[in-house]
Amino acid sequence: MPDGKKDSEDFEARAKELVDAGYEAVEKAIIACTRCPLHETATNRVIGKGSRTPKVLFIGEAPGKNEDEKGIPFCGRAGKELDKMVEYMGLSEKDWAVINTVKCRPPENRNPKKTELESCKPFLLAQITLLDPNLIILLGNTAEKAYCPEKKLEWGVPENVEGQTVLKLFHPAALIYTRSRTGTQHELIDRNRGLWE
């Protein structure tokens, strides 16, 4: 069996056990997790925030300094940018939630390694199944690499990935670094409003 297929079956089997145990058990398992070295330097596990029945589930990258200190995703500058994006999309509080690809902060805010993304993937898959969104918005390439590594999605073009509608948009932090992308992001959102309205 090719390694990729075996890995995906392993993630899915572990995710199913977590799903069967329920969301609170997933939270406890994340807090106790030592499956990859990121737990050694993490202050807090950053599990997720928002609705437990979201229409739209955003998947970010990894916790940063503020998130690690508070244990809450998107609570710093990128969080303010995500709030603006959510407002532009017209989503209310009950409509959305956000989680990250890995639950522990990578040192010096480096990108998560492939092995770390894979170690954390059962949590990601279990959260997606339990939150059961209509739409997943991948915030940037790391989210894509974690969720559907075999795909290369176009920015702002929705795809059906194994029965789940998925859309890739810019990460809010990328909008802070390159302000000119905000206009493009708005165009991509406008083009896809039918997915959540």
What would the two tokens of residue 23 be?
Answer: 């969301």
Q: CA–CA separation, 56 vs 54, rounded Å?
A: 5
Nearest CB to ligand SF4, comparing residues 84 and 113: 113
Nearest CB to ligand SF4, comparing residues 121 and 168: 121
Nearest CB to ligand SF4, comparing residues 127 and 192: 127
Q: How far is the CB of 102 from ligand SF4 (least distance, A)?
A: 4
| Long-range Cβ contacts of 78-86 (<8 Å, 24+ apart) | 78/171, 78/172, 78/173, 78/176, 79/172, 81/172, 81/173, 81/175, 81/176, 82/58, 82/139, 82/172, 85/169, 85/172, 85/175, 85/185, 85/189
Residues that bind ligand SF4 (CB under 6 A): 30, 33-36, 38-39, 45, 102-104, 116, 119-120
Nearest CB to ligand SF4, comparing residues 57 and 89: 57
Q: Which amino acid would we find at residue 135?
A: L
Q: How far is the CB of 63 from ligand SF4 (least distance, A)?
A: 9
Q: How far is the CB of 169 from ligand SF4 (least distance, A)?
A: 23
Q: How far is the CB of 154 from ligand SF4 (least distance, A)?
A: 29
Q: How far is the CB of 32 from ligand SF4 (least distance, A)?
A: 9
Q: State the DSSP string of 122-147.
A: HHHHHHHHHH--SEEEEESHHHHHHH
User: Dihedral, CA atoms, 3, 6, 7, 8, nearest 10 degrees?
Assistant: 130
Nearest CB to ligand SF4, comparing residues 69 and 181: 69
